[in-house]
Structure 1
């Protein structure tokens, strides 16, 4: 990993938690849509109904994106843990005690 990019496990865990919470808010806040277009003086009821449907679809899409991102973060954390374990098992004990000698 480049020297400029350092992401701690705590930051990844927090990101996953926030994404799950955001997803839950989006899903729970998504109300059922009223049936039919509202009656308006200007006749814009059909446009309003399409706009409301679009908002609902957008909320569900955002919830799905948050879930997908959370799954990706969990995968990164798992891969990082697996890599750490493989590196630890590949190195002899003296390496961890003495360091690289720089």
Structure 2
């Protein structure tokens, strides 16, 4: 489902801006704090188109797509909780 949604968001970006290419890679599994969990590359003749499309893609991906997990810290105050994740690795979602 997430892959389909990301491809749809990238297709929407392509319609809205004059883009050459879009590549999105989403990291799977546990991602430590301050490490990259999604990589988005957008190329265009004009820098503004690429930057606006990139911002659109990350904003749209983070909103409805069911891949973002809620961080729950293990300590006395909040209790000890865990959350499931996919197996480790990186998946190339789309290259358009």
TM-score (norm 1): 0.27
TM-score by length of 2: 0.29
- Give the structure with the higher percent helix: 1
Larger gyration radius, structure 1 or structure 2: 1
Comparing both chains, which one has the higher relative contact order based on Cα–Cα distances under 8 Å and sequence gaps of 6 or more?
Answer: 2
